[in-house]
Structure 1
Amino acid sequence: MDVLTNSYYFPLYSALGYFALVFALGEVARILTAKYVSSRGNNQLFLYELIGTIQMCTCVYENGIIFKNYGFPAIFLCVALLLTAGGIFNRGAMTNCAPIFEQFVFGNLGSSKFITILSAQLIGAAFASKLAYLIWNLTSGMSTAHLENASNMECVLQYKQTAGVVIGFEIIGAFVVRLVVAQLASRPALIKLIPFAISAYLTLALYIVGVPGLNPIVATARLYGCQGIDNSSFMILYWICPVIGWLAGAYVVGQPSVAKKTAKQVKAEKKQKKAAADKKSD
């Protein structure tokens, strides 16, 4: 049967169109930010993080369609490709608070930038659902899958394991992912596998636990307020646990040491900058 007319692939086409639209809107917003917002200060940093967070969290809403219609292999590939695309287009936006907690705790990120990035992530997480439902409503006439999602506001979390196992998955999973990311990042030939490693954990958690977390920002955007878990338990499970696991992993792998410049190097750099400034003024 012709692939274009086979109803089996209609949900896939809906999802691809959704992802393309979200990334296109994000890229337009980033281009406008680069053009009209100064890179001085934290304004551009805030907007890049805000745009990237809204983009990635909004895409998570569509992942349910992929999983419902095509299963575990498809969701693994989908998440890996989305993370890869995010790494290409996001202008350095992390869209995950665990790495910024790491940088802040280990003294590699000042309090001003820490607050700027975290606030952008939280605001982005809050707006993701609104954009997702807006797209679903606008495209509901063209997609049965989007019509179903637009008309279903119910969110119920169903876990396959006991609370202890779920907590262990969040802590140990974040710990292991941090170690794996460090190993892959240290090898240029393997660095592109990082999204696939993260996706593998999320798919495994989906299969064993039922509701994967790892990223507190994405979990907040997609799961906060759902039935099946109270707010206090949500914060413990999807914020404290993965952050603790991630920081433990960061402690094990260590932080890159920054070599201090000698007085001679500092003096030479000043001379180069002065020479460049004099040449420019001429």
Structure 2
Amino acid sequence: MDPASSEYYFPLYSALGYFALVFGLGEVARILTAKYVSSRGNSQLFLYELIGTIQMCTCVYENGIIFKNYGFPAIFLCVGLLLTAGGIFNRGAWTNCAPIFEQFIFGNLGSTKFITILSAQLIGATFASKFAYLIWNLTAPYSSAHLENASNLDCVLQYKQTAGIVIAFEIVGAFVVRVVVAQLLARPALIRLIPFAISAYLTLALYIVGVPGLNPIVATARLYGCQGIDTSSFMILYWFCPVLGWLAGAYVVGQKGPAKKTSKEAKAEKKLKAAAKKAQ
């Protein structure tokens, strides 16, 4: 028998088809956005962030099939490749609120753009589950893995460690990821390793803790409302802790606010703005 036709690989084929469909639809939406939505203002920014967030959060739902059937090495590779693909296709979408909190707090992101991006992420996280279940229901006749997921609406969080260790993993994990990302960004030859560095920590957390978060938006899309944690505990664990760890990491690596402009630069900028208004 051809190994490629073995039932062992059927869940993998389902997952690959799922990921291809989600990224394909996301790319079509981005192309239409670029064509019909003006880049002026924040409308295009909002839509890119919304599309990217829905895309990445929807993919997270399928990761469970990969992990259930192929284990830790497969989920590490899967998450790393998905993050890599997101970096290629997402048109700069953050899909994570921790970096935008960093940029806002350090003065590198205005309040209007901050609210635009965060609102897009929250809306995207809300709709991700609906898209995931829609795809599972449509493909259930062709995939036993999707049929099982579509018919299972229960979500129960089961932790392998005590609350203190779980909290520590969220804070320390976000801190470590922020520091590691800064180190890799400083070395152009290693930038492509960033998705796999993040994936490595998530896989480690999955192995030790059982329910990794690290990204508040993804955690909201996938874990909010699940049994095993109340709303206040969820906000503390999956929002406050990772954002705190991320900001601490940003402080350690020396995140700086915007450079102050000289008087000459300020005058030149005013002239450019005045000229732009006249040209309109």
TM-score (norm 2): 0.94
1:1-282 paired onto structure 2 within 5 Å: 1-256=1-256, 258-260=258-260, 262-263=262-263
2: CA distance, partners of 1:163 / 1:274? 57
1: CA distance, partners of 2:29 / 2:253? 36
Change (3 A) 1:140 1:163: same
1: CA distance, partners of 2:206 / 2:228? 16
Between Structure 1 and Structure 2, how many residues are aligned?
Answer: 279
Q: CA deviation at 1:262?
A: 4.5
Check whether the contact 2:106–2:257 (CA below 8 A) recurs between aligned residues.
no
Aligned-residue identity in percent: 86
Secondary structure of the structure 1 residue equivalent to 2:227: coil
Change (3 A) 1:271 1:114: closer
Check whether the contact 2:108–2:257 (CA below 8 A) recurs between aligned residues.
no
Change (3 A) 1:268 1:106: closer
Q: CA deviation at 1:264?
A: 5.2
Letter in 2 for 1:18: Y
Q: CA deviation at 1:4?
A: 3.0
| 1:65-98: CA deviation from partner (whole Å, max 9, x where unpaired) | 0000000000000000000000000000000000
2: CA distance, partners of 1:142 / 1:111? 47
TM-score (norm 1): 0.94
1: CA distance, partners of 2:214 / 2:270? 45
1: CA distance, partners of 2:251 / 2:66? 36
Q: CA deviation at 1:254?
A: 1.3
Check whether the contact 2:108–2:258 (CA below 8 A) recurs between aligned residues.
no
Q: CA deviation at 1:233?
A: 0.5
1: CA distance, partners of 2:125 / 2:17? 21
Check whether the contact 2:107–2:257 (CA below 8 A) recurs between aligned residues.
no
1: CA distance, partners of 2:20 / 2:12? 12
Letter in 2 for 1:218: V
- Which stretches of structure 1, 4 residues or longer, exceed 4 Å deviation after superposition? 256-276
Q: CA deviation at 1:3?
A: 3.0
Q: CA deviation at 1:265?
A: 5.7
2: CA distance, partners of 1:274 / 1:229? 55
Secondary structure of the structure 2 residue equivalent to 1:140: helix
Q: CA deviation at 1:199?
A: 0.2
Unaligned runs of 5+ in 1: none
Change (3 A) 1:265 1:237: closer
Q: CA deviation at 1:256?
A: 4.4
1: CA distance, partners of 2:150 / 2:272? 60
2: CA distance, partners of 1:234 / 1:38? 37
